[in-house]
Structure 1
Amino acid sequence: MMSILHITAITAITAITAITAITAITAITAITAITARLYHNQHI
């Protein structure tokens, strides 16, 4: 049986990992979109 501390630690790590992943994906998507837009604007 897991202790409350153990469950809390797992929940915290999972939440931090999820937030980090979502932030990274959002940032990569935004950078890609901005780069594509700038590239597209330069080549009109």
Structure 2
Amino acid sequence: MKISNRDIKIFFLGFTTLFIIETIYDWDSTIGEIQRGWEAGSK
């Protein structure tokens, strides 16, 4: 079985779509984790 460029593009499109949906769905938690990571990184 050969993997084509189309297969790779569809895989990354699906991955990106799921990432965006998850980020929007759980927005409050996402922002909280970003802020916590920023504060931990700046120390």
TM-score (norm 1): 0.56
Larger-gyration structure (1/2): 1
Aligned to 1:22: 23
Aligned residues, how many? Answer: 28
Aligned to 1:5: 6
Amino-acid identity (%): 11
- Residue segments in structure 2 that go unaligned for 5+ positions in a row: 30-43
Question: Which runs of at least 4 in structure 1 moved beyond 3 Å after TM superposition?
Answer: none
Q: 1:11, 1:18 → 2: CA distance?
A: 10
- Residue segments in structure 1 that go unaligned for 5+ positions in a row: 31-44
